Amino acid sequence: MSDMRQFKEVNQVRRRVDGVGLVTGKALYTDDYDIHGMLSAKVLRSPYPHARIKSIDVAKARALEGVRAVLTWKDVPRVIITEAGQGFPEPSPYDKFILDNKVRFVGDEVAVVAAETTEIAEKALLLIKVTYEELKPILDPRDSMKPGAPVIHDEPEWRIPIPVEMDPKKNLCGRADVTIGNMQRGFSGADQVFEHEYENHYAQHVANEPHITISYLDPQNRLVLISSTQVPFHVRRIVARALDIPVKRIRVIKPRIGGGFGSKQDIVTEPLCAALTLATGMPVRLQLTREEVFTSSRTRHPTITRLKTGIKKDGTLTAIEMEVLQNAGPYGTHGLTVLTNTGSKILPLFRCANVRFNAWSVYTNLLQGGAYRGYGGTQSGLAMNIQMDEMARAIGLDVALLYRKLHIKKGEGSPVFAALGEGAEGHAMTIGSCGLAECIDIVMRESGWARKRNNPGAGRVRRGIGMAVLMQGSSIPKIDMASCSIKMNEDGSFNLLCGATDIGTGSDTVMAKIAAEVLGVKTDDVIVYSSDTDFTPFDVGAYASSTTYLSGMAAKKCAEQIAGQIRSVAAEMLEEDATGIVLEEGKAVGKKGGVTLAQVGTRSLYEKDQHQIAAFASAYSDQSPPPFAAHVAEIEVDIETGRVQVVTYWTATDCGVAINPLLAEGQVEGALLNGISYALSERFIYNSKGKLLNPSFGSYGVYFTRDLPEIKTFLVPTYEPSGPFGAKSIAEVNINGPLPAISNAIFDAVGVRLRKPPYTPEAVYKALKKR
């Protein structure tokens, strides 16, 4: 590791800066804001997967006492939008009206009511009479592009704002086809060729706080939204478009957020809530029920991946061909970008001269896909890591050695980086830091890999051990932008304002620590506020693992400017040259002595040449340095019931320099357990009409403490030269491991290969019977 000087705040264990409010229950989440006279909103949802609204009669509902507004598609602007909270122009199709005369999944929005109480609003929903003309639905993505398939988006307004291949007449809402090298030559040079189909299932984020928005008009008739969102600036832009009002009339406040994981990167509750405020002039609160979060927010895109790999006896890969069919659901939010990331988050990880990625995203009348931690990397991590295990066994090589031989190293690039980006071409990149070799060593050593592998034991309960390796990115190169401002106070403290959106990730703490490190003060001396579109500078928001890397970079640049201003005031005070002055322990110290930052602050505000020490800085990157991780899962399989239990799970992650090691470990463990429960128990059950049958915590299958296996977390320090104080991202990468690592462990235990999670007792039992 190079350039790792002794940090004072960065990389040290500190309490999170927002912690006290959280443990005392004082922190304000959206639902904690009381606004006098606030109305309660409820949404009428479609019972059909695909239907046209023939007529809709709201007279009785409007007449109900206490009802203030009932809106249907006739009452809202007919403006086509995407609800994907992405940069502009969005790489997602404009295929959604906030209310429409057609519904495209069970749970789609039909009408919305605002009333004096929730009970009245619910009663009003029952009084709305809708006549539907049922249309043939598409409930399997394999059917979406068949000739004669129903067209889910026949609205003439449909469009895609960037030049990419999509065709709503064919239900096609995303396409990628990239070839590097020569596939034919690649496969003919192989000693063995492997080809299988892998399929990941639907999943929901299940953030603890349901989606919620409060909207009201301020005294200037501006529309204020307090919202549980990961993307306040995108909310402002998209709500402005949807309601046909200027951006300048909207203010979005991000209060405390109760988790997101991608589900709140979309505009889910904001436009309807705001429309009701505009219609009534009154404050409105729209909170989804837990059932609605399941049926009508966002999901992980299910994907069918056909993976074909050519390998030589010595483990050299000669060709990788990945064919992907992604189920986008009824609207194309994030379909294309998750699709391209399915390729770009795994293919560069392994050296191979001939690579093809050929992929389709298609509409169906099932639940809506969106951003979900892992963002494509989960889908392809499954296929690639299982196939690696299959190939290693076939050529008689330990898969750990195969990984070590093939993985990308520091100083190397991959043609995939340039070929495949965010829905379009990407950007060439050379790896500036990679600790994956050490990650693999650690999980092998700590797990007792060599001893346990191929050693299932006999009897009813068999043991197995499996591995996976992973990469993600840190921000979207040349698209994402983050900025922040800092001003200095007379006591030597600082206000840092940022658009970076702390949704529980600890990014406020990361920003404070980075600024404190530069300014030579304690983390506590930096007061962070995030985010409010009226006050804080722009940031794309909390997604794409961008915050620590990119927003952190903005904090560092901004603090450096402030440090320069402090040094010049101190230089005058000390009567010496500014260049020799250093900031440490709350002082500006020169050759002739020092002054405290309080003295500098007081002088600049009150005493001499008065001015505000303040700065703005933006960060933007053409790189997206990947964090890397190695996973080992040790499991038990009960061969009589098919029940799989994780005994111990080891992870080692290279996130560069961990700005806050405790928070970084927390990101690993949270992502990991989410990945484990996704692999073993979380699932959606649909009936034959496309209706979700298990929209609840209890039946969906999230984990509680009793389900927790032993988890061993290791951070492998490297220094990423392009990152702030050597940092890369960490939030997403570790959710991608359990699907393949557990499948590989099941094979190690009982010799059956499961390529289609979840690995429920029924699925495993069935596979064992077929053996």
Partner 1 sequence: MKITLKINGKMRVVEAGPGEILLDVLRREGYKGAKFGCGHGFCGACTVLLDGRPVNSCLLLVGVVEGREITTIEALGSVDKLHPIQEAYLDAGAVQCGYCTPGFILSTKALLDEKPEPTEEEIKQALDGNYCRCTGYVKIIDAVKLAAKKRKKR
| 387 contact partners, CB below 8 Å, separation of at least 6 | 194, 196, 198, 307, 309
Q: How far is the CB of 705 from ligand FES (least distance, A)?
A: 12
Identity at 746, one-letter amino acid code: I
**Rounded alpha-carbon distances, angstroms, from residue 501 to 234, 484, 591, 634, 751:** 12, 12, 41, 36, 45
Residue 464 in tokens: 């197995």
Query: Taking the complex as a whole, how short is the minimal distance between the CB of residue 287 and ligand FES, in angstroms?
Result: 12
- Choose one: 66-74, 108-116, 202-210, 597-605; the region binding partner 1 (CB under 8 A): 202-210
Looking at the Cβ atoms of 346 and 443, the one nearer to partner 1 is: 443
Q: Which residue, judged by CB position, is nearest to ligand FES in the bound state? A: 208
**Residue 477 · residue 650 · CB < 8 Å:** no
For the chain, the first-to-last Cα distance in angstroms comes to 48
**Would you say 225 and 231 are in contact if contact means Cβ atoms under 8 Å apart?**
no
As measured in angstroms, the least distance from the Cβ of 185 to partner 1 is 45
Q: Which of residues 494-513 bind ligand FES (CB under 6 A)?
A: 504
Q: How far is the CB of 647 from ligand FES (least distance, A)?
A: 24
Nearest to ligand FES of 29, 73 (CB atom): 29
Interface stretch with partner 1, choices 204-212, 265-273, 384-392, 481-489 (CB under 8 A): 204-212
Neighbours of 169 (CB within 10 A): 10
How far apart are CB 259 and ligand FES at their closest, in Å? 5
Nearer to partner 1, 21 or 751 (CB): 21
Task: List binders of partner 1 among 272-301 (CB under 8 A).
Answer: 287, 289-290
> Residue 229 in contact with residue 504, Cβ under 8 Å?
no
Total residues in contact with ligand FES, by rule CB under 6 A: 3
Size of the site for partner 1 (CB under 8 A): 55
What is the number of other CB atoms lying within 10 angstroms of the CB of residue 543?
28
Q: Give the nearer residue to ligand FES in terms of CB position, either 37 or 698.
A: 698
Task: List the one residue out of 745, 709, 766 whose CA is nearest residue 637.
Answer: 745
H or E element in which residue 530 lies: none
Residue 29, binding choice from ligand FES, partner 1, none, Cβ under 5 to 8 Å by partner class: partner 1
Rounded least distance, CB 30 to partner 1, Å: 11
Q: Is the dihedral of CA 665, 670, 671, 672 positive or negative?
A: positive
Q: Among ligand FES, partner 1, none, what does residue 760 contact (CB within 5–8 Å per kind)? A: none
What H or E segment, with its residue span, contains residue 222? none
Q: Which of 206, 243, 276, 573 binds partner 1 (CB under 8 A)?
A: 206
Q: Is 262 in the site for ligand FES (CB under 6 A)?
A: no
Q: Measured from the CB atom, is 200 or 651 closer to partner 1?
A: 651
Q: 26 or 409: whose CB is closer to ligand FES?
A: 26
Strand-pair partners of 634: 465, 648
Q: How far is the CB of 290 from partner 1 (least distance, A)?
A: 4
- Binding segment for partner 1 (CB under 8 A), chosen from 77-85, 207-215, 350-358, 397-405, is 207-215
CB of 708 to partner 1, least distance (A): 5
Q: Name the binder of 27 from partner 1, ligand FES, none, CB < 5-8 A by kind.
A: partner 1
Helix (H, G, I), strand (E, B) or coil at 59: helix
Binding mask 700-729 for partner 1 (x = CB under 8 A): --xxxxx-x--x-x----------------
66 binds ligand FES (CB under 6 A): no
DSSP letters spanning 113-170: EEESSHHHHHHHHHH-EEEEEE-----SGGGTTSTTPPPS---TT-B-SSS---BGGG
Cβ closest to ligand FES, residue 292 vs residue 748: 292
Answer whether the bond into residue 758 is a cis peptide, omega within 30°: yes
Question: What is the token pair recorded at 606?
Answer: 């009150």
In this structure, are residues 331 and 80 in contact, taking their beta carbons and an 8 Å threshold? no
665 binds partner 1 (CB under 8 A): yes
Q: Is 28 exposed, middle or buried (0-12, 13-18, 19+ CB in 10 A)?
A: exposed
Whichever of 22 and 126 has its CB closer to ligand FES, that residue is 22
Q: Closest Cα partner for 310 from 258, 373, 352, 250? A: 352
Torsion sign over Cα 436, 441, 446, 452: positive
Exactly one of 208, 579, 610, 705 binds ligand FES (CB under 6 A); that residue is 208
Shortest approach of ligand FES to residue 292 CB, angstroms?
Answer: 14
Among 66, 77, 189, 259, binds ligand FES (CB under 6 A): 259
Q: Work out which of 205, 251, 334, 407 binds partner 1, going by CB under 8 A.
A: 205
- Least separation in angstroms between CB 732 and ligand FES: 16
Three-state DSSP string of 382-442 = HHHHHHHHHHHHHHCCCHHHHHHHHECCCCCECHHHHHCCCCCCCCCCECCCCCHHHHHHH
Minimum gap (Å) between residue 208 Cβ and ligand FES: 4
Helix/strand/coil for 636? strand
Cβ at position 24, least distance to ligand FES in Å:
15
Nearest CA among 180, 189, 173 for reference residue 311: 189
Q: What residue 246 binds from partner 1, ligand FES, none (CB within 5 to 8 A, per partner kind)?
A: none
* Closer residue to ligand FES (CB): 256 or 407: 256
- Does residue 36 belong to the site contacting partner 1 (CB under 8 A)? no
Contact between 506 and partner 1 (CB under 8 A)? yes
One of 2, 6, 208, 579 touching partner 1 (CB under 8 A): 208
Nearer to partner 1, 10 or 183 (CB): 10
Residue 673 touches which of partner 1, ligand FES, none (Cβ within 5-8 Å per kind): partner 1
Q: Is residue 261 helix, strand or coil?
A: coil
For residues 562 and 488, give the distance between their C-alpha atoms in angstroms, rounded to a whole number.
8
CB 697 → ligand FES: shortest distance, Å? 7
Report the candidate in 717, 624, 620 with the shortest Cα–Cα distance to residue 430.
Answer: 624
C-alpha to C-alpha distance for 708 and 679, rounded to whole angstroms? 14
Between 160 and 528, whose beta carbon lies closer to partner 1? 528
Q: Which two tokens stand for residue 209?
A: 């706080």
Query: Which of residues 259 and 661 has its CB atom nearest to ligand FES in the complex?
Result: 259
Residues 671-690: x where in contact with partner 1 by CB under 8 A, - otherwise, as a string: xxxx----------------
Largest CA distance in the chain: 85
Site string for partner 1, 740-769 (x = CB under 8 A): ------------------------------
Q: Which is nearer to partner 1, 31 or 398 (CB)?
A: 31
Spatial distance between the Cα atoms of 414 and 350, rounded to a whole number of angstroms:
9
Q: Which is nearer to partner 1, 433 or 734 (CB)?
A: 734
Query: 3-class SS at 41?
Result: strand
The sign of the CA dihedral 405, 408, 411, 416 is: positive
Binding site for partner 1 (CB under 8 A): 15-16, 18-29, 31-32, 205-210, 256-259, 261, 287, 289-290, 503-506, 662-663, 665-666, 669-674, 696-698, 702-706, 708, 711, 713
Contacts with ligand FES by CB under 6 A lie at 208, 259, 504
